[in-house]
Amino acid sequence: MNLRAASTFFYRRPYGYLALLLVPPLLWFGTVYLGSLFALLWQSFYRIDDFTAQIVREPTLETYKQLVTQPANVDIVVRTLTMAVAVTIACALIALPIATYMARYARGRMKAFFYVGVMLPMWTSYLVKVYAWRLLLAKEGIIAWVAGKLGLMSVLDALLAAPGIGGPSLSTSYLGMFIVFTYMWLPFMILPMAAALERVPGSLLQASADLGARPAQTFRNVVLPLAVPGIAAGSVFTFSLTLGDYVIPSVVGAPGYFIGMMVYTQQGTAGNIPLAAAFSVVPIVLISIYLAIAKRFGAFDAL
Amino acid sequence: MRSSYRPDRPSLFLRIGAFAGLAFMHIPVLLIILYAFTTEDRTYQFPPPGLTLKWFSRAFERSDIWQSLTLSLGVAACATVMALILGTLAAFALARAKFPAKDSLTVLFALPIALPGIVTGIALLAAMKLGGIDPSFFTIVAGHATFCTVIVYNNVIARLRRLPSNWVEASMDLGADGTQTLRYVLLPQVATAFLAGGMLAFALSFDEVIVTVFTAGKERTLPIWFFNELFRPRDRPVTNVVAVIVIAVTLIPILLAYYFTRPDDEHETAR
């Protein structure tokens, strides 16, 4: 059969053409990816025998019971969730001026400068950025140095002495971890937010100004509501990425565990795959709930 | 006709917020580059007491770094090729067609990015344990290919959706058959998005650690080498040099990807 005949054949039978295209990616995603997810789910219904430390391969809800009844485990979930919410809010606040400027004011070269300026750190090696923050937050590192030069050492010490967020140094405190998370996911908030703001028609702003609104009023009452889908889309990334990360909590060490670290430790040194699997179901559930909420704010229209 | 109305100039507050935010995003990376040249090798002292190039030559003598670098480049190349094939096929299938299961498939192809990497990682590990598969080069590639496919798919499908649908019809009306339309109309339009997707997939794979930790077993990709160094920093200056190498290797494909997909002026005129 020659190519031309084949292409006509498939043009007349769009479903055959679709099947031809879809079979390889579907085979891959269906077996490797979905198959793995089901394997994970399956293992979370196994349990580990307390005495022999062997995995008992019979379906049980024992592991989930352990997850929701042990206060230490509940603490981990609450701690991770709190961090994810705090990071999402901080990212939205810092991203707003950057996204507004690059989408609504910057033109030509300046606009390209801002877009490249946001994309470069976003795609720079994840581990290198985490490592950089280790240097920044260290006791003798650059933040302490700048604080010392500006005579702000007492402010830094007061922050570190604060209960809950403080610690011996920034590199071993929840405050430090919060800064690193916010830094890492900021570009993921800026880009969808800027995309949403790009789509606000100029005529709306003109109308608002014609009707006597000051720029600040226009921003609050016209631009901000229209940016909400972008913020919602960005928050899906900041929320999801924080929930699942285990590198940042282990490198910027605060005493408490996070979900990702728990999964990592349980499958590794502890050898408790069922509990690791059950723990990794937690972010899946939380993100599903979050996606449902974000969808109501139009997150998917802004992606 | 619309007057060339410009909303008020940005307030000083907004400008400071924008530029300070941008600076915040770049300072840590610039700092790492500075630290690769410091003469101090035990602490993270700032400012560096002196500058030197000797750590670069020391890093180049380390065979473990070369092995990890080669492995990472190999994995990234294989994962990118797989992702280009699978992602492009999926994008061509889902760009315009309407069929019942389409929405579920769209969600399926977004999952590896929407779910945290650790879920993908532990899921692959669970499957490998159940199936008795030992970690190897191929399990690393399998993990990477999954999320790299999503990157290529997103890039290509975004371009296909922007393509006016009447171009294909025009081509067919002018007597081109399906393969000719593909060859002369669709492929030239999609080529840059395809390249950009490939570049980003390569950069993502080269840098991936979250999933790789679970699928690599004893293999050490460059990010895993780096990850281990973070916990026992016995050779800090060499770690700093590797950081600079990693930045350089990922920077090139990312800049190329931006160049291939840079926003043109169409949304400027649409406003």
Note the pLDDT of residue A300.
Answer: 67
Residue A127 confidence (pLDDT) above 80 = yes
Mean pLDDT in residue range B49-70: 83
Q: B79-83, B133-137, B183-187: which range is least confident on average? A: B183-187
Contacts for A260 with CB less than 8 Å, ≥ 6 apart: A80, A243, A244, A245, A246, A247, A249, B116, B118
Q: What is the pLDDT of residues A169-202, one digit of tens each?
A: 788 889 999 999 999 999 999 999 998 888 888 8
d(CA B147, CA B263): 24
Please, which residues 128-187 of chain B have a Cβ atom closer than 8 Å to chain A?
Answer: 129-131, 142, 145-146, 149, 153, 177-179, 182
Contacts for B90 with CB less than 8 Å, ≥ 6 apart: A21, A22, A25, B105, B109, B149, B153, B157
ipTM for the whole complex: 0.82
Q: Could you tell me the domains of chain B?
A: 10-52 (no CATH), 62-270 (1.10.3720.10)
| DSSP character at residue A301 | G
Q: Which of A127, A223, A240 is the mutation pick for testing B, counting most B CBs within 10 A? A: A127
Q: Which residue of A has its CA nearest to B24?
A: A183
- Is B2 part of the contact surface with chain A (CB cutoff 8 Å)? yes
d(CA A246, CA A7): 49
pLDDT band at A107 (very low <50, low <70, confident <90, very high): confident
* Contact: A128, B29; criterion CB under 8 Å: yes
A55 bridge partner residues:
A48
Q: What is the mean pLDDT of chain B?
A: 83
Domain A72-301 bears CATH identifier 2.30.110.10? no
pLDDT band at B8 (very low <50, low <70, confident <90, very high): low
Mean pLDDT in residue range A50-67: 80
Q: What is the pLDDT of residues B22-43, one digit of tens each?
A: 999 999 999 888 888 877 776 6
Mean pLDDT in residue range B63-88: 93
Q: A184-188, A246-250, B176-180, B248-252: which range is least confident on average? A: B176-180
d(CA A128, CA B250): 11
Q: Which residue in the set A10, A104, A136 is minimally distant from B28, CB to CB?
A: A136
In this predicted model, which residue has the larger pLDDT, A284 or B182?
Answer: A284
Note the pLDDT of residue B268.
Answer: 39
Note the pLDDT of residue A144.
Answer: 83
Q: Which of B119, B155, B156 is the mutation pick for testing A, counting most A CBs within 10 A? A: B119
Residue A92 confidence (pLDDT) above 90 = yes
User: pTM of this prediction?
Assistant: 0.85
* Contact: A183, B25; criterion CB under 8 Å: yes
Q: What is the pLDDT of residues A285-299, one digit of tens each?
A: 998 898 888 878 777
Note the pLDDT of residue B252.
Answer: 84
- Is B18 part of the contact surface with chain A (CB cutoff 8 Å)? yes
Residue B264 confidence (pLDDT) above 60 = no
Q: Which residue in the set A7, A112, A284 is minimally distant from B115, CB to CB?
A: A284
Note the pLDDT of residue B271.
Answer: 32
Helix (H), strand (E) at residue A303? none
Note the pLDDT of residue B198.
Answer: 92
Q: What is the mean pLDDT of chain A?
A: 85
Residue B156 confidence (pLDDT) above 60 = yes
In this predicted model, which residue has the larger pLDDT, B38 or A206?
Answer: A206
Residue B265 confidence (pLDDT) above 70 = no
Task: Break chain A into its structural domains and give their ranges.
Answer: 72-301
